[in-house]
């Protein structure tokens, strides 16, 4: 019963480098989401996906790219990392269609951009 897993859990990178955060779920949930958590801002939606090959922007999508070629995977790529992208990133999934708001979160990936 793996559920939803994120990797890496911790990552340090330099400004300008490309970084990919991985997210894998074993439930075959339709919806998957990427959030970032920052002090003073709570959880902000970056991108989400309603199904394989369907993705849409959230509140703070600039500087990020996502893809969803398979239902179970939803990687998040920072094409050219910036210091402002230092954050804790959470992937989540939801089984409802349409979105019920009942999300299952991964444990998070803490990214530091130097």
Partner 1 sequence: GQQLNQSPQSMFIQEGEDVSMNCTSSSIFNTWLWYKQDPGEGPVLLIALYKAGELTSNGRLTAQFGITRKDSFLNISASIPSDVGIYFCAGLPRGANSKLTFGKGITLSVRP
**Residues at the site binding partner 1, with contacts judged by CB under 8 A:** 33, 35, 40-45, 48, 50, 56, 58-59, 90, 92, 98-108
- Give the nearest distance from C-beta 101 to partner 1 in angstroms: 4
Looking up tokens 């340090």, which residue turns up? Answer: 12
Instruction: With CA atoms as reference, report the closest residue to 45 among 114, 103, 2.
Output: 103
Closer to partner 1 by Cβ: residue 50 or 65: 50
Closer to partner 1 by Cβ: residue 81 or 90: 90
- Give the nearest distance from C-beta 109 to partner 1 in angstroms: 10
């Amino acid at each position: 019963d793996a559920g939803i897993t994120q990797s890496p859990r911790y990552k340090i990178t330099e400004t300008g480098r490309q970084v990919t955060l991985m997210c894998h779920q074993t439930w075959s949930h339709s919806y998957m989401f990427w959030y970032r958590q920052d002090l003073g801002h709570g959880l902000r939606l970056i991108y989400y996906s309603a199904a394989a090959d369907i993705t849409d922007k959230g509140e703070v999508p600039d500087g990020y790219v996502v893809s969803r070629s398979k239902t179970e995977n939803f990687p998040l790529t920072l094409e050219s990392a910036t210091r402002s992208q230092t954050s804790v990133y959470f992937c989540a999934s939801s089984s409802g269609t349409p979105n019920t708001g009942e999300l299952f979160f991964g444990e998070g990936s803490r990214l530091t951009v130097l």
